[in-house]
Structure 1
Amino acid sequence: MSELITVSTVNKEVYKQLRQQIRTGKIRPGSKITIREIAARFGVSTMPVREAIRRLQAEGFLSVETRSVTVNKLSLDEVNQLFVIRQRLESLAIEWSLQNLDDNHVEEIKELEEILEEMDNKEISYNDWQRLNRTFHLTMYKLADSPSLQQLIENVWDKVTPYMFIYSSTINSFEEGQKQHYLMLDYLIKKDEEALTDLLVEHLEDTYKAIQKGLEESNK
Protein backbone atom coordinates (compact mmCIF):
# COMPACT_ATOMS: atom_id res chain seq x y z
CA MET A 1 0.00 0.00 0.00
CA SER A 2 1.48 3.32 -1.10
CA GLU A 3 1.94 6.13 1.42
CA LEU A 4 3.08 8.66 -1.18
CA ILE A 5 1.92 12.22 -0.61
CA THR A 6 0.66 14.04 -3.69
CA VAL A 7 -1.07 17.06 -2.12
CA SER A 8 0.35 20.56 -2.55
CA THR A 9 0.74 21.34 1.15
CA VAL A 10 3.61 18.89 1.51
CA ASN A 11 5.08 20.30 4.72
CA LYS A 12 1.79 20.16 6.59
CA GLU A 13 0.94 16.72 5.26
CA VAL A 14 4.30 15.20 6.14
CA TYR A 15 3.99 16.61 9.66
CA LYS A 16 0.41 15.36 9.97
CA GLN A 17 1.17 11.85 8.75
CA LEU A 18 4.38 11.45 10.73
CA ARG A 19 2.66 12.70 13.88
CA GLN A 20 -0.22 10.30 13.28
CA GLN A 21 2.08 7.31 12.84
CA ILE A 22 3.88 8.16 16.08
CA ARG A 23 0.63 8.90 17.93
CA THR A 24 -0.96 5.58 16.93
CA GLY A 25 2.13 3.52 17.70
CA LYS A 26 2.82 2.60 14.08
CA ILE A 27 6.25 4.05 14.78
CA ARG A 28 6.73 2.77 18.29
CA PRO A 29 8.10 4.67 21.30
CA GLY A 30 11.86 4.25 21.51
CA SER A 31 12.25 3.69 17.77
CA LYS A 32 15.04 5.41 15.88
CA ILE A 33 14.10 6.97 12.56
CA THR A 34 16.08 8.70 9.85
CA ILE A 35 15.18 11.66 7.72
CA ARG A 36 15.92 9.73 4.53
CA GLU A 37 13.78 6.80 5.66
CA ILE A 38 10.76 9.04 6.30
CA ALA A 39 11.32 10.95 3.06
CA ALA A 40 11.37 7.67 1.13
CA ARG A 41 8.28 6.41 2.93
CA PHE A 42 6.25 9.47 1.96
CA GLY A 43 7.87 10.03 -1.41
CA VAL A 44 9.09 13.55 -0.64
CA SER A 45 12.36 15.43 -0.33
CA THR A 46 14.16 15.65 3.00
CA MET A 47 13.23 19.32 3.52
CA PRO A 48 9.58 18.83 4.64
CA VAL A 49 10.69 15.90 6.79
CA ARG A 50 13.22 18.09 8.58
CA GLU A 51 10.52 20.68 9.22
CA ALA A 52 8.13 18.02 10.55
CA ILE A 53 10.84 16.65 12.84
CA ARG A 54 11.55 20.13 14.22
CA ARG A 55 7.85 20.60 15.03
CA LEU A 56 7.51 17.18 16.61
CA GLN A 57 10.64 17.75 18.67
CA ALA A 58 9.15 21.00 19.98
CA GLU A 59 5.95 19.13 20.88
CA GLY A 60 7.89 16.51 22.83
CA PHE A 61 7.36 13.56 20.50
CA LEU A 62 10.95 13.28 19.25
CA SER A 63 14.49 13.67 20.57
CA VAL A 64 17.03 14.84 18.01
CA GLU A 65 20.78 14.32 18.27
CA THR A 66 23.52 14.98 15.74
CA ARG A 67 22.94 11.85 13.69
CA SER A 68 19.81 10.26 15.09
CA VAL A 69 16.14 10.93 15.74
CA THR A 70 14.37 8.92 18.43
CA VAL A 71 10.68 8.65 19.22
CA ASN A 72 10.39 9.57 22.88
CA LYS A 73 9.48 6.73 25.20
CA LEU A 74 7.71 7.42 28.48
CA SER A 75 8.51 5.60 31.69
CA LEU A 76 5.71 3.87 33.57
CA ASP A 77 5.74 6.69 36.13
CA GLU A 78 5.37 9.28 33.36
CA VAL A 79 2.43 7.39 31.86
CA ASN A 80 0.85 7.20 35.32
CA GLN A 81 1.28 10.94 35.80
CA LEU A 82 -0.40 11.64 32.46
CA PHE A 83 -3.39 9.51 33.41
CA VAL A 84 -3.70 11.38 36.71
CA ILE A 85 -3.63 14.63 34.74
CA ARG A 86 -6.30 13.21 32.42
CA GLN A 87 -8.49 12.43 35.41
CA ARG A 88 -8.27 16.00 36.69
CA LEU A 89 -8.78 17.71 33.33
CA GLU A 90 -11.54 15.43 32.12
CA SER A 91 -13.39 15.59 35.45
CA LEU A 92 -13.39 19.37 35.09
CA ALA A 93 -14.66 19.01 31.52
CA ILE A 94 -17.52 16.86 32.79
CA GLU A 95 -18.39 19.42 35.46
CA TRP A 96 -18.54 22.24 32.91
CA SER A 97 -20.30 20.09 30.32
CA LEU A 98 -23.12 19.25 32.69
CA GLN A 99 -23.47 22.91 33.64
CA ASN A 100 -24.03 23.72 29.97
CA LEU A 101 -26.10 20.71 28.96
CA ASP A 102 -29.72 21.55 28.15
CA ASP A 103 -32.46 20.79 25.62
CA ASN A 104 -30.51 22.65 22.93
CA HIS A 105 -27.89 19.88 22.81
CA VAL A 106 -30.03 17.19 21.16
CA GLU A 107 -27.69 16.96 18.18
CA GLU A 108 -24.64 16.50 20.39
CA ILE A 109 -26.30 13.63 22.27
CA LYS A 110 -27.32 12.07 18.97
CA GLU A 111 -23.73 12.32 17.74
CA LEU A 112 -22.47 10.51 20.84
CA GLU A 113 -25.06 7.76 20.32
CA GLU A 114 -23.99 7.34 16.69
CA ILE A 115 -20.33 7.07 17.68
CA LEU A 116 -21.15 4.27 20.12
CA GLU A 117 -23.25 2.46 17.53
CA GLU A 118 -20.30 2.54 15.15
CA MET A 119 -18.04 1.19 17.89
CA ASP A 120 -20.45 -1.74 18.40
CA ASN A 121 -19.43 -3.19 15.03
CA LYS A 122 -18.00 -6.66 15.77
CA GLU A 123 -15.65 -6.39 12.80
CA ILE A 124 -14.15 -3.05 13.86
CA SER A 125 -10.37 -2.80 13.77
CA TYR A 126 -8.27 -1.84 16.78
CA ASN A 127 -7.24 1.40 15.12
CA ASP A 128 -10.79 2.40 14.26
CA TRP A 129 -12.04 1.56 17.74
CA GLN A 130 -9.35 3.67 19.37
CA ARG A 131 -10.02 6.52 16.94
CA LEU A 132 -13.74 6.46 17.78
CA ASN A 133 -12.96 6.09 21.49
CA ARG A 134 -11.06 9.36 21.33
CA THR A 135 -13.83 11.00 19.30
CA PHE A 136 -16.46 9.93 21.84
CA HIS A 137 -14.61 11.40 24.81
CA LEU A 138 -13.62 14.63 23.09
CA THR A 139 -17.13 15.14 21.71
CA MET A 140 -18.50 14.82 25.22
CA TYR A 141 -15.97 17.33 26.57
CA LYS A 142 -16.80 19.86 23.85
CA LEU A 143 -20.03 20.46 25.75
CA ALA A 144 -17.87 22.28 28.31
CA ASP A 145 -17.52 25.04 25.69
CA SER A 146 -13.90 25.71 26.63
CA PRO A 147 -11.42 25.57 23.73
CA SER A 148 -8.53 26.06 26.17
CA LEU A 149 -9.53 23.08 28.31
CA GLN A 150 -10.23 21.03 25.20
CA GLN A 151 -6.75 21.73 23.85
CA LEU A 152 -5.10 20.75 27.14
CA ILE A 153 -7.03 17.47 27.15
CA GLU A 154 -6.09 16.72 23.55
CA ASN A 155 -2.41 17.44 24.26
CA VAL A 156 -2.36 14.93 27.12
CA TRP A 157 -4.26 12.37 25.04
CA ASP A 158 -1.63 12.69 22.30
CA LYS A 159 1.13 11.77 24.76
CA VAL A 160 -0.53 8.54 25.94
CA THR A 161 -2.29 7.49 22.74
CA PRO A 162 0.64 5.38 21.41
CA TYR A 163 0.52 3.29 24.58
CA MET A 164 -3.25 2.88 24.28
CA PHE A 165 -2.87 1.56 20.73
CA ILE A 166 0.00 -0.76 21.59
CA TYR A 167 -0.96 -2.11 25.02
CA SER A 168 -4.71 -1.74 25.57
CA SER A 169 -6.08 -2.98 22.24
CA THR A 170 -7.80 -6.27 23.07
CA ILE A 171 -11.31 -7.52 22.42
CA ASN A 172 -12.00 -7.83 26.16
CA SER A 173 -10.94 -4.25 26.81
CA PHE A 174 -13.19 -3.12 23.94
CA GLU A 175 -16.24 -4.89 25.37
CA GLU A 176 -15.72 -3.57 28.89
CA GLY A 177 -14.84 -0.10 27.62
CA GLN A 178 -18.00 -0.02 25.53
CA LYS A 179 -20.17 -0.91 28.51
CA GLN A 180 -18.62 1.99 30.38
CA HIS A 181 -19.19 4.32 27.43
CA TYR A 182 -22.91 3.57 27.36
CA LEU A 183 -23.11 4.19 31.09
CA MET A 184 -21.25 7.47 30.66
CA LEU A 185 -23.75 8.61 28.07
CA ASP A 186 -26.64 7.60 30.35
CA TYR A 187 -25.17 9.55 33.29
CA LEU A 188 -24.51 12.51 30.99
CA ILE A 189 -28.14 12.61 29.86
CA LYS A 190 -29.31 12.31 33.47
CA LYS A 191 -26.81 15.03 34.46
CA ASP A 192 -25.48 12.80 37.24
CA GLU A 193 -22.08 14.44 37.74
CA GLU A 194 -20.91 12.26 40.63
CA ALA A 195 -21.72 8.98 38.88
CA LEU A 196 -20.23 10.14 35.58
CA THR A 197 -17.03 11.40 37.21
CA ASP A 198 -16.59 8.21 39.25
CA LEU A 199 -17.09 6.09 36.15
CA LEU A 200 -14.63 8.20 34.16
CA VAL A 201 -11.97 7.69 36.85
CA GLU A 202 -12.63 3.93 36.81
CA HIS A 203 -12.50 3.94 33.00
CA LEU A 204 -9.12 5.70 32.97
CA GLU A 205 -7.73 3.47 35.71
CA ASP A 206 -8.69 0.36 33.70
CA THR A 207 -6.92 1.75 30.65
CA TYR A 208 -3.83 2.61 32.66
CA LYS A 209 -3.72 -0.88 34.22
CA ALA A 210 -3.78 -2.47 30.75
CA ILE A 211 -0.91 -0.23 29.66
CA GLN A 212 0.98 -0.89 32.91
CA LYS A 213 0.72 -4.64 32.37
CA GLY A 214 1.90 -4.33 28.78
CA LEU A 215 4.85 -2.10 29.64
CA GLU A 216 5.95 -4.33 32.50
CA GLU A 217 5.84 -7.42 30.28
CA SER A 218 7.73 -5.68 27.48
CA ASN A 219 10.49 -4.68 29.91
CA LYS A 220 11.10 -8.23 31.18
Structure 2
Amino acid sequence: MQKDAYTLILEAIDHGTYRPGDRLVESELAERFGVSRTPIREALQRLETQGMLTRDGRSLIVASLDHNQLAELYIVRTELEGLAARLAARHATPEEVRVLRDMVEEDRKLLGDPSALSRANRRFHKQIHLASHNRFLVQQLEMVHRTMALLALTSLAAAGRDEAALAEHDAIVTAIEARDEDAADRMLSDHISKAFVTRLKLDSGEIGAIG
Protein backbone atom coordinates (compact mmCIF):
# COMPACT_ATOMS: atom_id res chain seq x y z
CA MET A 1 0.00 0.00 0.00
CA GLN A 2 1.44 3.37 -1.03
CA LYS A 3 1.99 5.76 1.85
CA ASP A 4 0.50 9.24 1.69
CA ALA A 5 2.54 12.44 2.08
CA TYR A 6 1.48 12.90 5.71
CA THR A 7 2.73 9.43 6.69
CA LEU A 8 5.97 9.87 4.75
CA ILE A 9 6.82 13.16 6.47
CA LEU A 10 5.79 11.88 9.90
CA GLU A 11 7.96 8.78 9.49
CA ALA A 12 10.89 10.95 8.37
CA ILE A 13 10.56 12.96 11.60
CA ASP A 14 10.16 9.79 13.64
CA HIS A 15 13.28 8.23 12.11
CA GLY A 16 15.34 11.36 12.71
CA THR A 17 15.69 12.37 9.06
CA TYR A 18 14.21 15.69 10.14
CA ARG A 19 14.93 16.79 13.70
CA PRO A 20 13.51 19.55 15.91
CA GLY A 21 14.45 22.91 14.41
CA ASP A 22 14.89 21.59 10.86
CA ARG A 23 13.12 23.58 8.15
CA LEU A 24 10.70 21.73 5.86
CA VAL A 25 10.45 23.00 2.29
CA GLU A 26 7.58 21.93 0.02
CA SER A 27 9.69 21.57 -3.12
CA GLU A 28 12.40 19.56 -1.37
CA LEU A 29 9.87 17.23 0.25
CA ALA A 30 8.04 16.72 -3.05
CA GLU A 31 11.29 15.76 -4.74
CA ARG A 32 12.41 13.48 -1.89
CA PHE A 33 9.14 11.55 -1.75
CA GLY A 34 8.27 11.68 -5.43
CA VAL A 35 4.87 13.33 -4.99
CA SER A 36 3.35 16.62 -6.12
CA ARG A 37 3.46 19.73 -3.95
CA THR A 38 -0.29 19.81 -3.28
CA PRO A 39 -0.41 16.72 -1.00
CA ILE A 40 2.85 17.90 0.61
CA ARG A 41 1.28 21.28 1.36
CA GLU A 42 -1.82 19.60 2.82
CA ALA A 43 0.32 17.27 4.93
CA LEU A 44 2.36 20.17 6.29
CA GLN A 45 -0.80 22.05 7.24
CA ARG A 46 -2.10 18.97 9.03
CA LEU A 47 1.17 18.47 10.91
CA GLU A 48 1.20 22.13 11.91
CA THR A 49 -2.33 21.83 13.28
CA GLN A 50 -1.25 18.79 15.30
CA GLY A 51 1.66 20.72 16.80
CA MET A 52 4.32 18.65 15.03
CA LEU A 53 5.49 21.70 13.06
CA THR A 54 5.73 25.34 14.06
CA ARG A 55 6.19 28.65 12.24
CA ASP A 56 9.51 30.46 12.07
CA GLY A 57 8.69 33.54 10.06
CA ARG A 58 7.32 32.20 6.77
CA SER A 59 8.99 28.82 7.21
CA LEU A 60 7.72 25.67 8.86
CA ILE A 61 10.16 23.89 11.16
CA VAL A 62 9.94 20.66 13.15
CA ALA A 63 8.68 21.57 16.62
CA SER A 64 10.60 20.88 19.80
CA LEU A 65 9.35 20.22 23.33
CA ASP A 66 10.50 22.33 26.26
CA HIS A 67 10.94 20.86 29.75
CA ASN A 68 7.37 21.58 30.85
CA GLN A 69 5.86 20.11 27.68
CA LEU A 70 8.02 17.02 28.07
CA ALA A 71 6.85 16.56 31.66
CA GLU A 72 3.21 17.00 30.61
CA LEU A 73 3.64 14.46 27.81
CA TYR A 74 5.11 11.85 30.12
CA ILE A 75 2.41 12.36 32.77
CA VAL A 76 -0.27 11.63 30.20
CA ARG A 77 1.69 8.78 28.64
CA THR A 78 2.27 7.12 32.02
CA GLU A 79 -1.45 7.13 32.84
CA LEU A 80 -2.62 5.99 29.41
CA GLU A 81 0.01 3.27 29.02
CA GLY A 82 -0.78 1.93 32.49
CA LEU A 83 -4.46 1.77 31.58
CA ALA A 84 -3.63 -0.02 28.32
CA ALA A 85 -1.68 -2.67 30.23
CA ARG A 86 -4.52 -3.08 32.72
CA LEU A 87 -7.04 -3.60 29.93
CA ALA A 88 -4.65 -5.91 28.06
CA ALA A 89 -4.43 -8.11 31.18
CA ARG A 90 -8.23 -8.24 31.12
CA HIS A 91 -8.97 -8.56 27.40
CA ALA A 92 -5.91 -9.82 25.49
CA THR A 93 -6.41 -13.06 23.61
CA PRO A 94 -3.93 -15.91 24.22
CA GLU A 95 -2.53 -15.22 20.75
CA GLU A 96 -1.91 -11.54 21.55
CA VAL A 97 -0.13 -12.50 24.77
CA ARG A 98 2.00 -14.97 22.80
CA VAL A 99 3.01 -12.23 20.38
CA LEU A 100 4.06 -9.98 23.28
CA ARG A 101 6.15 -12.77 24.79
CA ASP A 102 7.78 -13.49 21.42
CA MET A 103 8.59 -9.79 20.99
CA VAL A 104 10.45 -9.71 24.31
CA GLU A 105 12.51 -12.74 23.34
CA GLU A 106 13.28 -11.45 19.83
CA ASP A 107 14.22 -7.98 21.07
CA ARG A 108 17.09 -9.42 23.13
CA LYS A 109 18.96 -9.78 19.84
CA LEU A 110 18.86 -5.99 19.41
CA LEU A 111 20.70 -5.07 22.61
CA GLY A 112 23.40 -2.51 21.83
CA ASP A 113 21.51 -1.11 18.82
CA PRO A 114 19.45 1.84 20.19
CA SER A 115 17.85 2.69 16.84
CA ALA A 116 16.62 -0.85 16.14
CA LEU A 117 15.57 -1.34 19.74
CA SER A 118 13.64 1.93 19.66
CA ARG A 119 11.63 0.70 16.66
CA ALA A 120 11.04 -2.63 18.40
CA ASN A 121 9.99 -0.77 21.54
CA ARG A 122 7.34 1.12 19.60
CA ARG A 123 6.02 -2.15 18.16
CA PHE A 124 5.87 -3.67 21.64
CA HIS A 125 3.91 -0.77 23.11
CA LYS A 126 1.62 -0.66 20.07
CA GLN A 127 0.83 -4.34 20.58
CA ILE A 128 -0.18 -3.66 24.18
CA HIS A 129 -2.37 -0.78 23.02
CA LEU A 130 -4.15 -3.06 20.55
CA ALA A 131 -4.48 -5.81 23.15
CA SER A 132 -6.43 -3.39 25.36
CA HIS A 133 -9.31 -3.73 22.87
CA ASN A 134 -10.34 -0.12 23.44
CA ARG A 135 -10.33 1.91 20.24
CA PHE A 136 -10.58 5.28 22.00
CA LEU A 137 -7.58 4.54 24.18
CA VAL A 138 -5.63 3.40 21.12
CA GLN A 139 -6.43 6.68 19.36
CA GLN A 140 -5.22 8.75 22.32
CA LEU A 141 -2.02 6.74 22.59
CA GLU A 142 -1.40 7.17 18.86
CA MET A 143 -1.47 10.94 19.39
CA VAL A 144 0.94 10.67 22.34
CA HIS A 145 3.36 8.47 20.43
CA ARG A 146 3.19 10.77 17.41
CA THR A 147 4.37 13.60 19.64
CA MET A 148 7.16 11.36 20.98
CA ALA A 149 8.68 11.61 17.49
CA LEU A 150 9.73 15.17 18.40
CA LEU A 151 12.25 13.78 20.89
CA ALA A 152 15.52 13.59 19.01
CA LEU A 153 17.09 10.87 21.15
CA THR A 154 15.51 7.68 22.46
CA SER A 155 15.96 6.99 26.18
CA LEU A 156 17.14 3.53 25.07
CA ALA A 157 20.36 5.22 23.91
CA ALA A 158 21.42 5.67 27.54
CA ALA A 159 24.12 3.26 28.62
CA GLY A 160 22.50 0.28 30.36
CA ARG A 161 18.94 1.42 29.72
CA ASP A 162 18.33 -1.13 26.94
CA GLU A 163 18.82 -4.18 29.18
CA ALA A 164 16.80 -2.64 31.99
CA ALA A 165 13.96 -1.76 29.60
CA LEU A 166 13.80 -5.31 28.25
CA ALA A 167 13.67 -6.69 31.79
CA GLU A 168 10.75 -4.32 32.45
CA HIS A 169 9.03 -5.49 29.26
CA ASP A 170 9.44 -9.07 30.46
CA ALA A 171 7.80 -8.21 33.80
CA ILE A 172 4.93 -6.41 32.04
CA VAL A 173 4.20 -9.41 29.84
CA THR A 174 4.40 -11.75 32.83
CA ALA A 175 1.73 -9.67 34.59
CA ILE A 176 -0.48 -9.68 31.47
CA GLU A 177 -0.01 -13.46 31.12
CA ALA A 178 -1.12 -13.86 34.75
CA ARG A 179 -4.16 -11.62 34.12
CA ASP A 180 -2.97 -9.47 37.01
CA GLU A 181 -4.45 -6.10 36.07
CA ASP A 182 -3.01 -4.16 39.01
CA ALA A 183 0.50 -5.50 38.43
CA ALA A 184 0.34 -4.87 34.67
CA ASP A 185 -0.77 -1.27 35.26
CA ARG A 186 1.91 -0.69 37.89
CA MET A 187 4.69 -2.35 35.88
CA LEU A 188 4.01 -0.34 32.73
CA SER A 189 3.53 2.92 34.59
CA ASP A 190 6.85 2.38 36.37
CA HIS A 191 8.48 1.51 33.04
CA ILE A 192 7.43 4.84 31.52
CA SER A 193 8.46 6.73 34.67
CA LYS A 194 11.96 5.21 34.51
CA ALA A 195 12.22 6.08 30.82
CA PHE A 196 11.35 9.70 31.69
CA VAL A 197 14.02 9.84 34.41
CA THR A 198 16.57 8.46 31.94
CA ARG A 199 15.59 11.02 29.32
CA LEU A 200 15.97 13.88 31.79
CA LYS A 201 19.45 12.61 32.72
CA LEU A 202 20.38 12.34 29.03
CA ASP A 203 19.18 15.89 28.38
CA SER A 204 21.12 17.22 31.37
CA GLY A 205 24.29 15.40 30.35
CA GLU A 206 24.35 13.44 33.61
CA ILE A 207 24.61 10.18 31.67
CA GLY A 208 26.04 9.46 28.25
CA ALA A 209 24.48 7.91 25.17
CA ILE A 210 25.54 4.88 23.15
CA GLY A 211 25.24 4.31 19.43
TM-score (norm: length of structure 1): 0.82
Aligned equivalents of 2:39 and 2:91: distance in 1? Answer: 42
Aligned-partner Cα distance in 2 for 1:41–1:197: 42
Aligned to 2:85: 94
User: Using the alignment, how far apart are the partners of 1:110 and 1:97 within structure 2?
Assistant: 12
Secondary structure of the corresponding residue to residue 137 of structure 1: helix
Moved more, 148-157 or 108-117: 108-117
The CA distance in 2 between the partners of 1:205 and 1:51, in whole Å, is: 36
Moved more, 207-216 or 181-190: 207-216
1:193 to 131, 156, 181: 181
Q: Is the 8 A contact 1:23 1:159 kept in 2?
A: no
**3-state SS of 2:109 partner:** coil
> Residue in 2 aligned with 1:203?
191
Taking the aligned partners of 2:195 and 2:33, their CA distance within structure 1 comes to 32
Confirm or deny: 8 A CA contact 1:167 1:215 kept in the other structure.
no
Distance 1:122 1:155 in 2: 26
Contact 1:98–1:193, Cα closer than 8 Å, also in 2? yes
**CA deviation after TM superposition for structure 1 residue 191, in Å:** 2.0
Q: For the residues of structure 2 that align with 1:95 and 1:87, how far apart are their CA atoms?
A: 12
Q: Counterpart of 1:3?
A: none
Indicate whether 1:175 and 2:168 are aligned: no
**Which 4+ runs in 1 deviate beyond 4 A?**
none
Instruction: Specify the alignment match of 2:208 in structure 1.
Output: none
* Pairing 1:135–2:123 present: yes
Give the distance between the partners of 1:45 and 1:93, measured in 2 at CA: 39
Correspondences of 1:138-149 after superposition (within 5 Å): 138-149=126-137
What's the TM-score once normalised by structure 2's chain length? Answer: 0.85
- Counting matched residue pairs gives 205
Alpha carbons 2:81, 2:189 under 8 Å: kept:
no
Q: Deviations over 1:163-189 (max 9, x none)?
A: 2x6141325211110011011111111
Match of 1:216 among 187, 200, 204: 204
Gaps of 5+ in 1: 1-6
Seen in structure 2, the aligned counterparts of structure 1 residues 110 and 98 have a Cα distance that, compared at 3 Å, is closer
Report the secondary structure of 1:121's partner residue.
helix
2:153 to 145, 166, 174: 166
> Percent identity over the alignment?
27
Q: Mark the runs of 5 or more structure 2 residues left unpaired by the alignment.
A: 206-211
- Secondary structure, aligned partner of 2:54: strand
2:63–2:150 contact (8 Å) kept in structure 1: no
Deviation track 1:126-168 (CA, whole Å, cap 9, x = no partner) reads: 33311221121221232221111111011111112342x6141
CA–CA distance in 2 between the matches of 1:183 and 1:53? 40
